[in-house]
Structure 1
Amino acid sequence: MARHHLLIVSGSLRAGATNRKLAHEAARLFDPERLTVADLRLPLYDGDLEEAEGIPAPVRTLADQIADADAVAISCPEYNKGPSGVMKNALDWVSRTEANPWAGKPVAVMSAAGGRAGGERSQMILRSLLVPFEPHLLTGPELHVADSRNQFDAQGRLTSERYLKTLGVLMDRLRAAAER
């Protein structure tokens, strides 16, 4: 089995966020040869800033990370029935870079949220936001970790066998897509 370069992206900035934990669990199950963790601490998209200063260095770094990865796993929370502003801002900035680093890139989307739907709406909207970039977006299995604060142990590992099994299948499919 080939081992690949995986980029993980969390739509939450908080260090202890369950979406960060979920992204790292995805990486553990993917078992990449090389792992990169995206940093979405970017300035707010502003056309005037772009015109005056160009694309900020952290945005270029993110676009390069996407381009260099063999596959991308995104874990995004649900804020007010949609993806986080941090995630949308990152997509907006990357859309302004010269090349489309997402084109044809295998991408798996997952979510963790406190509610009983586990971020299902966020994930649905995020998938639609990715469509213009034309990635190879995996359609399933969908993973929505509900009651997320109670689904990870002290080491940040998922405790639910059901969620682990689904995540394992999703990462197997992401790995297979990266091998094509």
Structure 2
Amino acid sequence: MDHKNRPVRIIGISGSLRAGSFNTAALRAAIELAPEGVTIETAEIGDLPLYNDDVRLVGFPPPAQRLREQLSAADAILFVTPEYNYSIPGVLKNAIDWASRPPSQPFDGKPVAIMGASGGILGTARAQYQLRQMLIFLNAFPINKPEVMIGQAPTKFDEDGRLTDEPTRDFIRQLLEALAAWTNRLR
């Protein structure tokens, strides 16, 4: 198997800690819809302490070290973010802050895809653009299309948190196919 067709290992991060989160449900849908040769593992960010550089200088806390190792080992990253106050949630920013600190940072040169779900009509558009700005500084390589902004999320998931909206499922499939192709292209 040549390097362009190797399996793609993605680490998925939901920016929501809510038990009934539409974003975590969208991440579960992505795991279900992953194309052949693509695996998605989820990263836990809810146990990270608030970022404190004094703590980092002594050593990364175990949850931060675990996240850094997961991101480093992955071929690509999938962010699934809610939108709070026109931006990403604090827990997601906190995770990025912990993972991105010296002496190395695992986002450098890493292929990334972004999606998100919200009850509003814009479906996390502003949060996704804020996240893209951070990825520039981190030298990550996000794909541009398709943009998966799941608006009016309560109408697209059933009571068990399963994504039932077929057009949205197709967009997620396309996003994952694009991320796999982008990852292989960058290898």
Gaps of 5+ in 1: none
2:1 is the counterpart of 1:6: no
- Residue aligning to 1:98: 103
TM-score (norm 1): 0.91
Alpha-carbon separation, structure 2, partners of 1:123 and 1:17: 17
Secondary structure of residue in 2 paired with 1:36: strand
Alpha-carbon separation, structure 2, partners of 1:67 and 1:95: 11
Gaps of 5+ in 2: none
For the 8 Å contact 1:63–1:97, the answer to whether it is kept is: no
2:37 is the counterpart of 1:45: no
For the 8 Å contact 1:9–1:37, the answer to whether it is kept is: yes
For the 8 Å contact 1:60–1:97, the answer to whether it is kept is: no
Alpha-carbon separation, structure 2, partners of 1:140 and 1:156: 25
> What is the 5 A alignment of 1:82-161?
82-161=87-166
Structure-2 change in CA distance of 1:54 and 1:141 (3 Å): same
For the 8 Å contact 1:8–1:24, the answer to whether it is kept is: no
TM-score (norm 2): 0.88
- How far off is 1:157 after superposition? 2.8
Alpha-carbon separation, structure 1, partners of 2:12 and 2:174: 17
For the 8 Å contact 1:70–1:106, the answer to whether it is kept is: yes
- Residue aligning to 2:28: 24
Alpha-carbon separation, structure 2, partners of 1:50 and 1:104: 23
**Runs of 4 or more off by more than 6 Å in structure 1?**
none
Matched length: 179
Which whole-Å deviations, capped at 9, do the CAs of 1:65-96 have from their partners, x for residues lacking one? 11111121110000111100001111111121
- How far off is 1:159 after superposition? 1.8
Which whole-Å deviations, capped at 9, do the CAs of 1:16-44 have from their partners, x for residues lacking one? 20100111212222245543211112111
Which shows bigger deviation, 147-156 or 67-76? 147-156
